Amino acid sequence: MEEIKPIHWVMDYETLTNCFIGVFQHYKDENIRKTFVIYKDRNDLPQFIDFLNECKNKNQWHISYNGLAFDAQISQYILDKQRQLLTFSTEDVIKCIYAFAQKTISLKDQNSFLEYPPAKLKIRQIDLFKMNHWDNRAKMSSLKWIQYSMDWQNVEEMPHHHAAPVETDEQLKMITEYCVNDVLSTKKVLEHSKEQIVLRQTLTREYGIDLYSASEPRISKELFLHFLSQKLGWDKGTIKTLRTHHREIYLGQCILPYISFKTDHFQRMFDYLRTQVIISTKNGFKYTVDYKGMKTDYGLGGIHGARDAGVYEAKAGYTIMTSDVTSFYPNLAIRNGFHPAHLPKEEFCELYEWFFEERKKIPKTDPKNYVYKIILNSTYGLTGDENSFLYDPRMTMQITINGQLSLSMLYEMICEEIPEAVPLMQNTDGLETLIPNSYVEKYHEICARWCKMTMLELEHDEYSKMIIRDVNNYIAVSKSGKVKCKGAFEWEDLDKKKVAVFHKNKSFLIIPKAIYAYFTKGVKPEDFLAANQNIFDYCAGVKAKSGWYFELRNIQEGELVSKRLQKIVRYYVSNRGGKLVKCHTDGRLIQVESGQWLQTTINEINETRPFDSYGINKSYYLDQIYKEIHQIEKEKSLSFTQLSLF
């Protein structure tokens, strides 16, 4: 962050029907804050315009949450209309700003072009919402949700509707404090995003493309376009218009010639896939193979298979081999010449391979290493994105189908050539297999043959234990002591407040933490809970979608009392409290926590409050922890003797 000079501001606006508030916080110094208000007899417009002009002239950036689509639009509008606005009455100034704000929101809701695209903004912007890709449907997150995710003390929604007039100084103070809370939490997001900012700063300077607010897929798209344009000598604008559309995709024509199987299980699956015709990549196909005690599912999204829930340990004389394909999808394309039909094969493949080879030369501490990783991984996804110049769904199918089939070949080779091999899991780009130690050399020999056949590379490790709930939720303990947690058992990145996982739901983090401690360290859940006094670990978050809202209901003096809550609610399960209910405008009601359990909402947390005063119902948490443990241990860690019978 130190390289961005001289002064920059984290900011937010509140535009109401008869009031405007702007809060600007120095991006480093907590003691420097500017607040501008236009309301009744207070008109800070002249000072506000002077400030905006100073930001423009002195290259002072504005840092916001979703600012490109709202706050920056208002800033530029005021700069454009400043002479006219200065002649207006306070009331008319507010009306103009409010009308423009509502127009901007309407354009955004209609997916229409905004008044000011980034190139027309005179004040430079960093939009943390877009940069972290929280505008993506799969990661869509409001600032309030991010506040919850990063354990912000006050998860507060706007306390006053924008269309309702502000009538008192107390209301004005309340809205201003709300705006300050938003700005301070945005500043905290900025601090968590420091590495992402530095990366984008480096790329912007090197390639002359403004990537400060760019998500990782956009970085991939922009840099691939940059290098492709140079390599082909084609204009970027021309390349951006290119796409390849298919009415039908015959999977049999996508399959590589080396793909073959020996067993009926896989041959039937292979015969099925070869006959499939894909009309829409959104629908695709489903097929399941049950082989050696493990069911494996095939589909357009990839391959997924795991044994029944259980604890699988490598007893004396055995090991769990885990093998992952190095940059699986990129290398499938590179080694087999897959390319979008509208781009020259040789040049595209040479460029794609160049990114892969260059990345191997660059230390992982260098930001460029990560950039090339983004490009390699995102390019596959962009072949299935109609908004991308790499769009060619046939290439997407070539990668996913051959990825599944080639990994299944390895799966079959290992299990057929090592009689005592027990498949445990396979997922997209790798697999885990329990084998006798005496067959480790044979295992590597099989993998080497597979690598020679496919022209791909494998990376190997050995696990001592796998705790499996299903293919997407497991804990794997390597012989070196390193532990990998996936799905419902992931907690470390959430606990460390890594910005990359803020869009996820960290509800009741105490549960995966306790399960991890139980399976990897032998700590009893009761003892773990007794030692953990972090209130945030016991909290959950819920958000209401369109048509829904939350109420907290309890009995007071024999009567049912309901309190309507905001759209995002943070709560914990308590000994005393009420029932948190999700309500629909059509009358439907759903208890957030069914059964006897009571909840206490806690959108605002005072971290100095004694932990014992919260009245946490630890029975609830123990119940949930033991449910997970019993689900996994229902067959109580099948012994290897049992496993070897499969």
pLDDT in tens, 470-516: 999 999 999 999 999 999 999 999 999 999 999 999 999 999 999 99
Reported as a pLDDT band with limits 50, 70 and 90, residue 639 is very low
Check whether 643 has a pLDDT greater than 50: no
Residues 6+ apart with CB under 8 A from 329: 377, 380, 399, 400, 403, 429
Percent pLDDT > 70 in the chain is 97
pLDDT in tens, 237-248: 999 999 999 999
Q: 599: which strand partners?
A: 573, 578
Taking only Cα atoms into account, the Rg of the chain, rounded to an integer number of angstroms, comes to 28
Per-residue pLDDT at 5 = 58
Check whether 100 has a pLDDT greater than 60: yes
Average pLDDT over residues 136-149: 95
Q: 288: which strand partners?
A: 297
Per-residue pLDDT at 646 = 29
Per-residue pLDDT at 284 = 74
Name the token pair of 355. Answer: 């990114």
Reported as a pLDDT band with limits 50, 70 and 90, residue 640 is very low
pLDDT in tens, 409-418: 999 999 999 9
Per-residue pLDDT at 425 = 96
Residues 6+ apart with CB under 8 A from 138: none
Q: 63: which strand partners?
A: 10, 126
Per-residue pLDDT at 635 = 52
Per-residue pLDDT at 365 = 84
Average pLDDT over residues 75-95: 97
Name the token pair of 389. Answer: 């110049």
- Cβ contact 217:377 at 8 Å: no
Name the token pair of 450. Answer: 């597979």
Check whether 641 has a pLDDT greater than 90: no
Q: Domain ranges in the chain?
A: 9-214, 268-325+400-489, 510-632
Core vs surface per residue 457-494: b (16+ CB within 10 A) or e = ebeebbbbbbbbbbbebbbbbeeeeebebeeebbbeeb
Alpha helix (H) residue ranges in 256-392? 264-274, 328-336, 345-361, 367-382
Check whether 541 has a pLDDT greater than 50: yes
In this structure, which amino acid lies at residue 480?
Answer: S
The CATH architecture of the domain made up of 268-325+400-489 is Alpha-Beta Complex (3.90)
pLDDT in tens, 317-336: 999 999 999 999 999 999 99
pLDDT in tens, 212-235: 999 999 999 999 999 999 999 999
| pTM for this predicted structure | 0.92
Specify the fold of 9-214.
Nucleotidyltransferase; domain 5 (3.30.420)
| More confident: 540 or 284 | 540
Check whether 4 has a pLDDT greater than 60: no
Check whether 636 has a pLDDT greater than 70: no
- Cβ contact 385:431 at 8 Å: no
H helix count then E strand count, the chain:
21, 25
Per-residue pLDDT at 285 = 83
DSSP H or E stretch at residue 532: none
Average pLDDT over residues 50-65: 97
Core vs surface per residue 206-215: b (16+ CB within 10 A) or e = eeebebbbbb
Average pLDDT over residues 381-395: 94
Mean pLDDT of the chain: 94
Alpha carbon dihedral 558, 562, 568, 571, in 10-degree steps, equals 0
Reported as a pLDDT band with limits 50, 70 and 90, residue 535 is very high
Check whether 3 has a pLDDT greater than 70: no
